[in-house]
Structure formats: structure tokens, C-alpha cells
């Protein structure tokens, strides 16, 4: 059986951007790479073959959601997560720590683990670092994550430090109880927006020599400049020969900036979530197909895009589907947005390899108009609140 490993292939001389390759039991994955989110064993609206057509090599599933529904034992009985969701490429399972901690009124945390009530039926559950590793080993993902405590970005420093120290203790327990050698267990660096705590967390976890390192607890409502400053601080302390994974980041401009700082892996529900709300990516920024201006446009939403949606349908047709709340609208918009991100990652890797990443980055950021910062923070806060109430 092929084990997990990471090879660093090339680093951009003018920045920290780098190209590498993840080797997993279910295929080789070029990095930098974006992981579509399929929390409940599905990337919303798409079937596996459509993901493959978009050149997706790895997806993310969520242990918390799968533990509650349909249950880890059900997936085990069905032959494991790959077989259950008919996906023969790589899978990363998040531990579900963030989902549990977002249930602030429904959980109790101690050094031993977490007691929480299900957002579905109110039933009580107790999870520990050991049980989370057991669940993920049973699911059979290629890359698995430690259980961590994710503090809010505005928590007091003392609370953030306690969460960081608990994350370190749990990471050690996860590492000690892991039995499967064919799964790569990644640690998660915490520490809020404190540079000193982030340094402490990075140094502590790298001494434990995990196969990969994730950066958690960012992009949770703090300004982008703070996010990028923390990323730069952390990456400088992580091993060069291990993959670096920035959790929860999926805006094209954020991916570009994080790649420039040495990040290899990304995941986010953003591209698929905004697609279902009628927003689509272009090389000039994000646009809303519900705008009346698209009602009579015969061209595709992004002329020159080679995704199935743009090859086949007009902007006018997508505008019509969204106005009628037709289910096909969500599928076609999702295909386009994930194709855009997949194409962006391909262009990033090519630019790093041919030595033009710095100019590619400058040209992209000049042309791409990001969502207004205050609007973005407001939207993010509403989304976080909705997740807390609807988990």
C-alpha cells in the first residue's frame, strides 16, 4: 500500500511560493491545491465524475457531521468513506473541532475532551482526541486532523492561551493513539491573532514531527491584513519539507497572497456557497448573476472559460434559472466556481515553475476586484452566526 508523503519540487526565488506533490494511497496531488468542502460526504450539488472533470484530486469531509449522520459505524459497514461516497481519489477529514466549538451553548470543554449536544436532536455526546482519531481511522481518509480547540478571534488572550495549550495536549494524545500508518495525521497551529502565541504553538508542534501542519483559527472575522500577518509569522516557523495547510480560506485573492507566503493547501466552502447564492468568479472579481444586466446576455457568464457551464449555457439562461429557483442553477454555478478555482491553482503552479509567479500575482491582484472589506466582514459574521444556530 502506498503511504503518505510530501515532496517539495520548486520554490519561487522572488517569494516563498512553492510547488510540491502530496503522495497518498489514492493518488498524487500537485500543490498548491484547493480542497472543495464535502462536509457530509458530498460536495453540494455535484457528483464525483463532475469533480473529476474539474480536475479535483482531493476533497474534504467532516468527522463531526459524519459522526452524527449517518454514523461512523454505518460508513464502516458500507466499506469506508471512499466507497460510501463513490470517490476513488484522496480525502481529508477534518476532526470537527471547529463545528463543535461553534456550538457554544451546547458544549462543555475539559482537558479530557468535549461533551456536547447534537444540533440535530439534542442528544448528548462525549468525544476525546482518542475517539476522534478512531473515527477518522474507521472512515479511512488519506489525511486526518488532530482534535483542536478553536477560539474566537476576539477572545481574551488568557482564553486563547488555554485553548492553545489544550490543543497541544490533544495533538500529543492524537499522535500517541494513532494506529494506521497509511494515514497522514496533521497538527493544527492555534494561538488566535497573537504573534507570540502563534510562535509558541508552531515551535511546540513542530517538535512533535507531524507529517503536515495546518493553520487553524484564522479567517474568522479578523481583517485580512491580520490574517496574512499571522500566516507569514507561522509559515516561517514550519518545516520546509512538510505541507502547510491554511484552513478555511477560499477567496481567490486570499489564496494568491497565502501562496506567496508559502502555503500549500487550502479548503473553504466559499466557492460552492456563493455559487448557490448566485455569485460567480471571474478574472475581474465576483459578480451576481441575479443582476438584471445578465437577463439578455447571450454569451456565457465568463467568456473564454472552458468549464461545462460556460461552454454550454448563456448568462441569460443562468439568470433565468436563479430567478425561478431551479435546482440546476446551483449545480451550474458550482461547476463554474470550482472550475475557476481549479484553473487558478493550475495557473499558480505553472507560474511558480516557470519563474513568473510574482508578475502573475501582480497582474491578478491588479485585475481582480475583491469584495469590499467591510461587506466581507459583515457577510462572514452572518455566516458564522448562521452556522452556530443551524449546526
User: What are the pLDDT digits (tens) for 305-356?
Assistant: 999 999 999 999 999 999 999 999 999 999 999 999 999 999 999 999 999 9
Same structural domain, 287 and 261:
no
Cis peptide before 32 (omega within 30 of 0): yes
Closest listed residue to residue 339, CA positions, set 387, 291, 282, 273: 282
Judge whether residue 60 has pLDDT over 80: yes
Number of residues written out for the chain: 391
How confident is the model at residue 382, as a pLDDT? 60
Same structural domain, 137 and 15:
yes
Q: Where a domain ends, among 272, 290, 318? A: 272
- The reply to whether 259 falls in a domain is yes
How confident is the model at residue 389, as a pLDDT? 43
Judge whether residue 275 has pLDDT over 90: yes
Domain that holds residue 312: 275-373
Confidence class for position 390, pLDDT limits 50, 70, 90:
very low
Same structural domain, 43 and 86:
yes
Judge whether residue 391 has pLDDT over 60: no
Q: Report the domain count for the chain.
A: 2
Q: What is the pTM of this model?
A: 0.95
- The reply to whether 385 falls in a domain is no
Confidence class for position 102, pLDDT limits 50, 70, 90:
confident
- The reply to whether 390 falls in a domain is no
Same structural domain, 252 and 305:
no
Mean pLDDT of all residues in the chain? 94
Same structural domain, 151 and 232:
yes
- Give mean pLDDT, residues 90-100: 90
Any idea which residues carry the catalytic annotation? 94, 267
Same structural domain, 263 and 318:
no
Same structural domain, 280 and 268:
no
Same structural domain, 202 and 348:
no
Same structural domain, 222 and 163:
yes
* Beta carbons within 8 Å of 175's beta carbon, 6+ residues apart: 146, 185, 187, 208, 210
Q: Where a domain ends, among 219, 237, 272? A: 272
How confident is the model at residue 371, as a pLDDT? 85
Same structural domain, 350 and 207:
no
Same structural domain, 268 and 285:
no
Amino acid at each position: 500500500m502506498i503511504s503518505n508523503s510530501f515532496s517539495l519540487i520548486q520554490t519561487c526565488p522572488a517569494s516563498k511560493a512553492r510547488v510540491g506533490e502530496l503522495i497518498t494511497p489514492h493518488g498524487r496531488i500537485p500543490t498548491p491545491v484547493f480542497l472543495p468542502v464535502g462536509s457530509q460526504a458530498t460536495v453540494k450539488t455535484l457528483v464525483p465524475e463532475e469533480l473529476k472533470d474539474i480536475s479535483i484530486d482531493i476533497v474534504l469531509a467532516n468527522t463531526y457531521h459524519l459522526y452524527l449522520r449517518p454514523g461512523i459505524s454505518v460508513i464502516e459497514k458500507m466499506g469506508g468513506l471512499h466507497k460510501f461516497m463513490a470517490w476513488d481519489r484522496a480525502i481529508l477529514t477534518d476532526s470537527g473541532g471547529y463545528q463543535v466549538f461553534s456550538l457554544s451553548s451546547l458544549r462543555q470543554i475539559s482537558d479530557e475532551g468535549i461533551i456536547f449536544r447534537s444540533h440535530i436532536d439534542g442528544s448528548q455526546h462525549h468525544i476525546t482526541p482518542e475517539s476522534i482519531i478512531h473515527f477518522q481511522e474507521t472512515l479511512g481518509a488519506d489525511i486526518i486532523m488532530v482534535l483542536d480547540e478553536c477560539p474566537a478571534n476576539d477572545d481574551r488572550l488568557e482564553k486563547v492561551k488555554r485553548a492553545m495549550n489544550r490543543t497541544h495536549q490533544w495533538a500529543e494524545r492524537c499522535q500517541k493513539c494513532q494506529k494506521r500508518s497509511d494515514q497522514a495525521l496533521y497538527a493544527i497551529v492555534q494561538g488566535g491573532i497573537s504573534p507570540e502565541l502563534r510562535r509558541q504553538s508552531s515551535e511546540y508542534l513542530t517538535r512533535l514531527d507531524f507529517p503536515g501542519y495546518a493553520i487553524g483559527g484564522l479567517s474568522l472575522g479578523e481583517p485580512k491584513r491580520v490574517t496574512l500577518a499571522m500566516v507569514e509569522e507561522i509559515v516561517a516557523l514550519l518545516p520546509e519539507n512538510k505541507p502547510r495547510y491554511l484552513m478555511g480560506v477560499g477567496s481567490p485573492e486570499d489564496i494568491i497572497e497565502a501562496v506567496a507566503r508559502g502555503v500549500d493547501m487550502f479548503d473553504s466552502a466559499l466557492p460552492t456557497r456563493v455559487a448557490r447564492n448566485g455569485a460567480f468568479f471571474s478574472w475581474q472579481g465576483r459578480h451576481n448573476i441575479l443582476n438584471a444586466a445578465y437577463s439578455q446576455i447571450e454569451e456565457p457568464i465568463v467568456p473564454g472559460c472552458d468549464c461545462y457551464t460556460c461552454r454550454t449555457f448563456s448568462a441569460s439562461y443562468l439568470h433565468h434559472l436563479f430567478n425561478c429557483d431551479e435546482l440546476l442553477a446551483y449545480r451550474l454555478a458550482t461547476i463554474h466556481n470550482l472550475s475557476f478555482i481549479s484553473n487558478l491553482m493550475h495557473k499558480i503552479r505553472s507560474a511558480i515553475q516557470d519563474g513568473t509567479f510574482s508578475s502573475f500575482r501582480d497582474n491578478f491582484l491588479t485585475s481582480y476586484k475583491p469584495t469590499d472589506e467591510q461587506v466581507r466582514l459583515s457577510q462572514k459574521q452572518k455566516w458564522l452566526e448562521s452556522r452556530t444556530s443551524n449546526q
